Amino acid sequence: MLKKSKKIILAILSLYLIILTLYIFTVINEYSGLNKQGNISINLFFSIQDSGADDNIVIIIVRMLLFTFLGSGLFIYLKNSSFVHQRTGYLVFLQKGMINSFLGGAVISILTNLYEMFLINWFYFPFIYKSHDYEMLSGMRPGYFTTNDLLEIILFIILAAIGWGIFSILVFSVGLFVQKNALYIAVGPILGLILILLPILGNMNNIVWRTFSFSWFLYTLVAPGQTTFMSQRPPINSLVAFLLAGVIYLAVALLLINLWYRRKQHEG
């Protein structure tokens, strides 16, 4: 079964790489008619991020699956198919599961962004980093962190990696209650779509709801500073919202993990 799981992960990784490459070249082709100058490659890079102007729902769903499954899938399999977590101790099992979940999401997020930059730089137009005035930048991206392009990309890549790592921990915590290994594969995409769609069900004209829901909107965490919220500028500072989202996601994850741990102690 472990060999089968590795083959599944390898197949998903290969499929993701193929889809991602085709997607980026498609967007590059669409941008080929534009005058290539300045920081156009940076704008293209941000446009293909989740919730960007050129995002793709297939890519988003595959990321929700792959980023969350890569680091935690083995631990959910061991929980459902062996007694390893009992032999090593529940606390050790949970700690390793959380660490690997975070690293799985964070590392592949970083590699994805670096790969996207590589393709854009070599097959479209080299990255040129500039500094912008406040007025210029406010019209380019909704939730900028800095007026320096290089720092903006570095911050985005780091924060997005942390965001995906935190979301992966949340998915792992939900997976502790999933008894079927095959079903766990769908937890990331289902939970991710819920966390994207649920906030928009409220009254977007209500500043209280808009601020509250933006604080746990999935893109606030995994695409920090680069997303509008229902075609509106973020109701609160993007960095503050990112920190709030991280705290909320981790709090829910730790609550579920503690609940599962206490249940296992009671059963034992």
pTM score, whole prediction? 0.91
Q: Copy the structure tokens of residue 168.
A: 């992966």
Closest CA to 50 of 196, 185, 151, 204: 196
The stretches in the chain having pLDDT less than 70 are 1-5, 83-86, 132-144, 228-231, 268
Res 1: pLDDT = 52
Res 187: pLDDT = 96
Q: Are 167 and 192 in contact (CB under 8 A)?
A: yes
**Residues paired with residue 229 on neighbouring β-strands, in sequence order:** 232
Q: Copy the structure tokens of residue 223.
A: 């695409």
Residue recorded with tokens 């959910």: 76
Res 132: pLDDT = 66
Interatomic CA distance for residues 252 and 161, integer angstroms: 19
Res 36: pLDDT = 82
